[in-house]
């Protein structure tokens, strides 16, 4: 749990104390509420102490169990405030990059993950993962070795093999050719990406050069169910249900122009073949 989010959840008017007050007003023990919502007992404690951010479904289930379904609307507004908190990377990195990276590994537990930038951490060799961390030098982050966060990112690849989840990765063809690491590493990276094409729960897309796109991408973003995560060089902002729908519409428009399946694989393989060390 990010400390900024935890502080917001546990402030006097935050979600955590309001959830606790609802339960006490309904004269429910934590175990009673957990059973009513079909949760593990520990989840109630985590939500009431700001150790876990509730989902919209969690808030609705909590209010229903407490006999106060009408309170859910106000709590959902508070949840949107939590999602809109800007997370500055330097503050997060004070805990170490491995810890910060690990905090993001829970996101693939979402039923659907849609990632227009196709983050390398899901499917890259560790060498490419190390290269992808170079951006940290742009924002004067604390010095650190890259091995721990790379190991954490590499472990995230295992999420792809969970067939109960669905992943969508969308990139523009020029991005496949960006020299973020030595050519030999990029070849391995692109070959790995090509093998992912065709997995039953993974959708890979590439927007070819020369295609007229309906909207100009302003920044990279990621969608996890009803959340949109926007990353810049200096921080990360999560947008809740209403704003995330706007990002979803943008992504749908871009998918309309994307090459998929064998066409996407050919674009990826061609990018690898054009690299100096590809032969």
pLDDT per position as a tens digit, 111-128: 555 655 443 333 333 443
Q: Which of 65, 83, 101 is the last residue of a domain?
A: 83
Q: Is the pLDDT of residue 152 over 50?
A: no
The string of pLDDT tens digits covering residues 24-34 is: 999 999 999 99
pLDDT at res. 86:
62
Distance from C-alpha of 185 to C-alpha of 37, rounded to nearest angstrom: 48
Q: What tens digit of pLDDT does each residue of 53-63 get?
A: 898 999 999 99
> CA separation (Å) from 57 to 36, 165, 246, 259?
14, 18, 21, 35
pLDDT digits (tens, 9 = 90+) for 219-242: 788 888 777 888 777 777 778 777
pLDDT at 59: 95
221 with 109, same domain: the answer is: yes
Looking at the predicted structure, is the pLDDT value of residue 200 above 60? yes
Mean local confidence (pLDDT), 8-14: 88
CATH number of 9's domain: 1.10.260.40
Number of compact structural domains in the chain: 2
**Res 48: pLDDT:** 95
Q: How far is CA 251 from the centre of its chain?
A: 15
What pTM was estimated for this model as a whole? 0.56
Residue 168, phi then psi, degrees to nearest 5: -130, 125
Does residue 196 share a domain with residue 107?
Answer: yes
SS in 3 state form for the chain? Answer: CCHHHHHHHHCCCCHHHHHHHHHHHCCCCHHHHHHHHCCCHHHHHHHHCCCCCCCHHHHHHHHHHCCCHHHHHHHHHHHHHHHCCEEEHHHHHCCCHHHHHHHCCCHHHCCEEEECCCCHHHCCCHHHHHHHHHHHHHHCCCCCCCHHHHHHHHHHHHHHHCCCCEEEEEEEHHHHHCCCCCHHHHHHHHHHHHHHCCCCCEEEEEECCCCCCCCCCCCCEEEECCEEEEECCCEEEEECHHHHHHHHHHHHHHHHCCEEHHHHHHHHHHHHHCCHHHC
Lowest mean pLDDT among 83-92, 103-112, 174-183, 230-239: 103-112
Confidence of residue 105 (pLDDT cuts 50, 70, 90): very low
Domain end among 32, 67, 83 = 83
What is the domain extent for residue 69?
3-83
State whether 157 and 215 are in the same domain.
yes
What is the C-alpha to C-alpha distance for residues 20 and 23, in angstroms, rounded to an integer? Answer: 5
Euclidean distance between the first and final Cα of the chain, in Å?
A: 46
* Phi, psi torsion values for 224, nearest 5 degrees: -125, 105
Ranking 46-50, 149-153, 264-268 by mean pLDDT, the lowest is 149-153
Q: Is the pLDDT of residue 36 over 90?
A: yes
Binned at pLDDT 50, 70 and 90, residue 98 comes out as: very low
What value does the mean pLDDT take over residues 247-251? 89
Q: Are 87 and 6 in contact (CB under 8 A)?
A: no
54 lies in the same domain as 147: no
Q: What is the pLDDT of residue 228?
A: 83
Examine the pLDDT at 109 and tell me if it is beyond 60.
no
Average pLDDT of the residues in 28-44: 94
Same domain, 94 and 159: yes
pLDDT at 95 over 50: no
The mean pLDDT value of the chain amounts to: 76
46 with 160, same domain? no
Percent pLDDT > 70 in the chain is 71
Instruction: Single out the residue in 83, 104, 121 at which a domain terminates.
Output: 83
Report CA-CA distances (Å) from 150 to 45, 92, 146, 186.
32, 17, 6, 16
Tokens at 241, concatenated: 């249900």
Backbone angles phi, psi at 49, to 5 degrees: -110, 10
Same domain, 95 and 180: yes
4 — pLDDT class (breaks 50, 70, 90): low
């Amino acid at each position: 749990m990010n400390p900024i989010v935890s502080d917001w959840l546990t402030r006097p008017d935050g979600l955590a104390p309001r959830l606790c007050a609802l339960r006490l007003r309904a004269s429910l023990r934590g175990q009673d509420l957990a059973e009513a919502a079909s949760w593990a007992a520990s989840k109630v404690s985590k939500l009431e102490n700001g150790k876990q951010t509730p989902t919209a479904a969690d808030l609705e289930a909590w209010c229903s169990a407490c006999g106060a379904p009408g309170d859910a609307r106000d709590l959902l507004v508070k949840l949107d405030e939590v999602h809109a908190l800007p997370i500055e990377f330097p503050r997060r990195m004070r805990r170490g990059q491995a810890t910060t990276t690990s905090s993001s590994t829970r996101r693939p537990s979402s039923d659907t993950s849609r990632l227009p930038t196709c983050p390398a951490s899901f499917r890259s060799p560790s060498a490419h993962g190390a290269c992808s961390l170079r951006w940290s030098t742009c924002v004067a982050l604390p010095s650190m070795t890259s091995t721990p966060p790379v190991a954490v990112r590499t472990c995230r690849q295992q999420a792809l093999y969970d067939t109960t989840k669905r992943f969508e990765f969308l990139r523009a063809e020029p991005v496949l050719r960006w020299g973020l690491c030595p050519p030999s590493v990029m070849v391995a990276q692109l070959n790995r990406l090509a093998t992912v094409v065709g997995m039953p729960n993974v959708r890979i897309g590439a927007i070819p050069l020369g295609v007229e796109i309906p909207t100009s991408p302003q920044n990279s973003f990621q969608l996890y169910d009803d959340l949109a995560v926007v990353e810049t060089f200096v921080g990360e902002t999560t947008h809740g249900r209403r704003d995330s729908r706007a990002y979803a519409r943008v992504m749908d428009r871009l998918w309309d122009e994307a090459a998929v399946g064998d066409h996407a694989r050919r674009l990826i393989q061609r990018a690898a073949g054009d690299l100096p060390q590809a032969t």
